[in-house]
Chain A
C-alpha cells in the first residue's frame, strides 16, 4: 500500500490539478480506511495550496485567547463516527519557532512547534478513550500527510480533556520522524520530578552526558499587591480619590503576577540544576509583569456596579417620571401621584438624612470657591453648574440621596429651596456662590438664578446698611462719599496700566455697591495732586455729589474746574431668561431702524445724571469727553500734547480746544436729548437699575414653582457635568489616552444633553433613551478612570510600567465599549503582560511584601527561586537536546535540518510539584 500511495503522491506532485485529482481518487479508493485517508489528504492539500493568507480569506477563525493563531476545520466520517480535522496556523508564516512566549497554544508550548493538525472525534467531550482508536486515527493522518508531502505535526487527544494528554507524530522528511506525547500528573508527583536536578535525569535514554541540555525556565508567581481574601485594612484603597466623597469603588486590581524567565542555560550535570533552582528570582534574565484584575472590570450587568454611572441612570429615570407631575409637591408622596405612575421605589430617607445633607450644603465648606479652578476646559460646553457650586453639590448629593428616586429628589429640593429662602430673608450670603463678576450664561438657569440671588442679597444687605446710616445726617453721607473718593483714586492708579476702560469691583468689600467708572489710564499721573484740588473744589462742594474722584487732569469746558468721574450704577445683571425676554421684545418691534433698547437708555440716563451731579457745571461736551472720548475731536493734536507736557500750568490747556464729532453734534441727536432731560442725581438718589428686592423675590418664586421636569433636566445636566468633573480630578499620571477619553466624554455629554435645553422636547422617549445610553458610556469611562487610578498609585515608582499596562488595557477594553449592557458574549480575559526594565525591578519587588506566617504554608511546594520569601505558583521548564544530522540531504524540507542540527529531544514541564504537565517530543530516524 505504501508504494502505491507513493506513486499517487508523485503523480499528484506533477499534476496538482484538482480535476485530475478527483479522477484519480475514484480510481484508487478501495476500503473505507483508504477513503478516510484520502479525505484527510484532500483537505490537507487544499490547506497547503491555499496558504495562510487565502485561508484567512476563506474564514479561518482567530483563536479568541491567542492573537496570532488561527484554525480552520474540516469534518469527516469514518464508520459510524464523525471526526473533525483542525489545522492551526500562524499568520506570519516565516517567523521562527518560539520556545516560550506567554501567548502560545498548549501544543505549541509543549512540543515547540508552530503549525499543526489535530484530529478528534466530534463527540461532546471530543476525546478518545480507546488507545487503539487513537493510534489508528493518528496513523491515518500520518499516512495522509506523508502522501501529500507535508511536514505538519498531527495530534490526537487521548484520555480526559483535563489531562491535556496528546499523542502526535511529525514526518520530517524521508528519514526523520518526530513523535510526541504529553500527559499530566495530577497528584502524587514523584519526588524526582519535583526538583530540577531530578527532572534533568527524568528523560532516561536520550540524555547522555555528552549532550547539552538547554533549558529555558519561565516561572510564574503571584504578587501581593492586595492578596486574595485578606482584608486590606479599615481604610479603603480609594480613600483619597475624588469620588470617595460619594462612594467607594472596589479596587479593580486584585494583585500583580510576575513572570521571571531564565533563558537558554546550558546545563551539564544535576549539580548545576540544583544551583539554578536555588537562585533568587532577582537573578532571572527577564521579568514580566501583568495585573490581576477583578471581575468588575469586565462587563457587569446593569445596576450591579455602583458608581456615578449607576446613580445617573437612576436620575435619568427620575427625569422620565418627572414629566408626569406639574408641581414638585406632586412627588412628595406616593399617594398624591398614584402608585401606578411610580414604577420605581419611592423611599425617602428620614429627616435626619435630609438635615445632614442640608448642613453639608449650606454650612460645611461654605466658603466661596473659585469654580473655574480644576475643572476641565471642556466642562463649559455642558450646560450645568460649575463644580463645587451650590447647585452642583446639590445634584451630587441628590444622586446619593436615598436611591435617587423622584420622591426623594422632590423632598430634598423643597428643603433646599426653603434654606435658600432663609438666606434671602435673613440677608445671609448664599454659600458656594460667587457674588462678583457677571453671570455666566453658559451655566444652567438654576445656577444663574442662584448667582443672581447671591448678588441681590449682597445689594440688599448694602442698601439696608445705607438706610440705617443715612439717619438724615447729610454730612455723614458726604463723608462717606469722600472716603469713597479716595478709594476711587486708588483704583484709578491700579487700573492705570490696564485697559483704557476698566471697571474694578472689589468683592471683598461689602461696603459699597457702586463702583467707579471711566478711569482713564493716561491721566493717572495727575493723581499726585489729589489733595490740592480741594482748593478749587470748594466753590462747587456744596452741590457736588457722588464723585468717585478726579478724572485725570481733565478740565471742564465752561468753568475753570476739574472734571470728576461720578460713581455710576452697576450695569444690571441678567440671567439667560431675562436676556431672552428682552431680545424677544426687541425682535417684536421688528425692523426698527432706530430701535434702541430701553435698558441702555436707562443706563445712559443714569450715567448722565450721575455725571451732572458730580460736575455741576458740566455741559454735554464734557460728558462726551468722559463717556465716549472718540466723539470728541481735539482741534490740533499738538495742542493737547503740549498740554500734557505743561500740565503744571493749568492755565495752558484751558479752555480745552476741540469739538464734538459730527455725528454727536447733529441736530436732534438723541444723546443730547437724553442729556437735556437727565436730572443731576448721584447714584445714591437714583432709582436703581436693578431692584434687588424685586429681583430676589422673582428668583425665589422661580425656584419655588419650577416645574418638575425643568428641575430634573437641569439636575441631569449638572449631575453629568459634576460627576465628570469629579472623575477628571482623579490623578492617574500622565496617561494621554485617558485624558483624551475624558475630553471626548465631555463632548459626548454636551451633544447628548443639548436636546434637553430646547424649550419643547422633540421626542421625550428618544431623549431618555439617549441619556440611558449616555450613562453606559459614562460607566465605561468611570471604570477606566478607577482602574487607571488604581494602577497608577500601585506603580507610582514605575510610571513607565503603569502607562504601558494601561495602554495595553485600553487596547483590550476600548473595542468593547460599544458592546452595550447586555453584550457579554466575549469572555476573553485581559492577559497582556509587560516586561519590567532593570531599574524598575526594585519597585516591583517591593510590592511583594514578605509573606506573613499564615501565608508561609505555601512553601510546601518547595520549588525554590524565591522572591522576598514568596514561592512561585507555577513553573515551566523546557529541556531540549540537540544533535547533528549531518549527512542527511534527503531531509532538505525541514527548516531545522538546514542548520544541520536538530532538536532530537525536547521535554516541556509545567506546573507545581503537586500538579505537573509533561510533554515529550523525540526525533528519530526509523
Chain B
C-alpha cells in the first residue's frame, strides 16, 4: 500500500508474468540502467528499491521481482498482497506469455488490492521480427480491463522509465478517507448541523 509523508510516497510494486518474459531485466534496467543479455532466472523473488521525482513529490518504489516458474505461483500472493502497483509483463514474441499475463490480471482483480495501479508491459519490443502478440490486441485487452499498456524493451531501454513514471503519476496521492460508495457515518453531535442528511 502506498504510504504518505510530506510529499513522499512509499509504494510497493510487484512484477508478475511468465518465466523469461523479462521481469528482472526490466527492473535492472530501471534500477541500475543495466542490461544482461542472459539474465539469470530468478529463484523465488528479488527486492529492489528506487526513488523517482514526480511533479513536486518523490515516490520511493519498493519493487518485488517475482519468479515466473509455475512452481512459485502459490507464493505470489505474499508479494502482491498490499502492493500499490503491479506490472504484468509478457514477451511480445510469445503468445503463451500473453495468455499467462491475462491469468495474472484475473488473479489480481480477484485477490489484489482494489485500488492497485496495474500496468501491462509487452516486453522485448526490440524483437519486432519475432512478434506474435500484436500491439492492438494487447491495447484492446488493457483497455477492457482498466490497465495501462506500454510496449517496452529492457534491451534498448524503450519505455522502461516511462512505465515506472506513469505508475508513479497514477498512484493515489491521498488515501480516500471514506469510500465514496459507502454511507457517511453520523457526525459528532457538535458537527451535526453541517452533517445534513446522509445516504441519499
Contacts and interface: CB of A to CB of B under 8 A. Distances in A.
B78 A777 contact: no
B95 interface: no
Contacts of A501: 70-71, 73
B109 interface: no
B19 A631 contact: yes
A574 B78 CA distance: 9
Contacts of B77: 438, 441
Interface string A479-521: 0000000000000000000001101000000000000010000
Given A600-B67, A663-B41, A817-B198, A777 B183 contact: yes
B188 to A, nearest CB: 7
Interface string A571-600: 100101001001100110111111111011
B5 interface: no
A604 B43 contact: yes
Contacts of A82: none
Interface centre among A517, A583, A743 (most CB of B within 10 A): A583
Nearest to A668: B40
B53 interface: no
Contact of B198 (A594, A600, A769, A818): A818
Interface in B56-86: 62, 67-75, 77-78, 81
Given A438-B74, A628-B19, A661-B20, A814 B199 contact: yes
B36 to A, nearest CB: 8
A571 B184 contact: no
B197 interface: yes
Given A441-B77, A593-B46, A818-B196, A777 B186 contact: yes
Given A586-B47, A600-B43, A662-B38, A744 B199 contact: yes
Interface residues of A, number: 68
Interface stretch (A117-125, A199-207, A748-756): A748-756
A595 B179 contact: no
A627 interface: yes
Contacts of A815: 197, 200
B44 A627 contact: no
Interface in B166-200: 176-179, 181-186, 188-189, 192, 195-200
B199 to A, nearest CB: 5
B106 interface: no
Contact of A597 (B28, B44, B48, B176): B44
A595 B78 contact: no
A662 B179 CA distance: 50
A401 to B, nearest CB: 27
B44 A748 contact: no
A600 B66 CA distance: 11
B192 A595 contact: no
B108 interface: no
Interface string A625-661: 0011011000000000000000000000000000001
Contacts of B39: 663
Contacts of A770: 185
B14 to A, nearest CB: 11
A820 B75 contact: no
A664 interface: yes
B44 A818 contact: no
Interface string B9-47: 000000000111000000010011000011111111111
Nearest to B81: A441
A595 B81 contact: no
A747 interface: yes
Nearest to B69: A628
Contacts of A586: 45, 47
Contact of A670 (B40, B73, B75): B40
Interface centre among B41, B81, B181, B184 (most CB of A within 10 A): B41
A427 interface: no
Contacts of B40: 663, 666, 669-671
Contacts of A661: 20, 38
Given A589-B47, A661-B20, A818 B71 contact: no
A837 to B, nearest CB: 29
B185 A591 contact: no
B43 A671 contact: yes
Nearest to A573: B74
Nearest to A441: B81
A748 B183 contact: yes
Nearest to A438: B74
Interface centre among A590, A671, A748 (most CB of B within 10 A): A748
A776 interface: yes
Nearest to A589: B47
Contacts of B186: 773, 776-777, 818-821
A433 B44 CA distance: 29
B111 interface: yes
Given A441-B81, A744-B182, A747-B182, A817 B43 contact: no
B49 interface: yes
Given A571-B75, A630-B20, A596 B44 contact: yes
A597 B45 contact: yes
Interface centre among A589, A593, A661, A741 (most CB of B within 10 A): A593
A823 B186 CA distance: 11
11 contacts: A517-B71, A583-B78, A586-B47, A590-B49, A600-B43, A600-B44, A601-B44, A674-B43, A777-B185, A820-B186, A820-B192
Interface of A: 381, 438, 441-442, 500-501, 503, 517, 571, 574, 576, 579, 582-583, 586-587, 589-597, 599-601, 603-604, 607, 627-628, 630-631, 661-664, 666, 669-671, 674, 741, 743-745, 747-748, 750-752, 769-770, 773-774, 776-777, 814-815, 817-823
